Amino acid sequence: MKHLEEDWLTRGLIDYEYKKYVLLAYLQEVKKQFEQVRLYPHLSDLVFHYQNLCTLRQNQELLQENFPKEISRADFEKLSLEYKKIAQDDSIMQEMEEIIFFALPQIKQVLEEGKSIHDYVEENLEISPVGITPLREDEGYLF
Each residue's pLDDT tens digit, 29-40? 999 999 999 999
**19/38 Cα distance (integer angstroms):** 25
Task: Please check whether residue 32 is in contact with residue 86, taking contact to mean a CB–CB distance below 8 angstroms.
Answer: no
| Listed ranges 6-15, 28-37, 57-66; the one with the highest mean pLDDT | 28-37
Does residue 71 sit in helix, strand or coil?
A: strand
Whether the bond between 134 and the residue before it is cis, its omega within 30 degrees of 0, is no
Residue 85 pLDDT class (50, 70, 90 cuts): low
Residue 48 pLDDT class (50, 70, 90 cuts): very high
Q: Give pLDDT tens digits for 86-126.
A: 556 678 888 888 999 999 999 999 999 999 999 999 999 88
| Cα 79 to the center of its chain, rounded Å | 41
Cβ neighbours of residue 43 closer than 8 Å, sequence gap 6 or more? 111, 114, 115, 118
Does residue 14 sit in helix, strand or coil?
A: coil
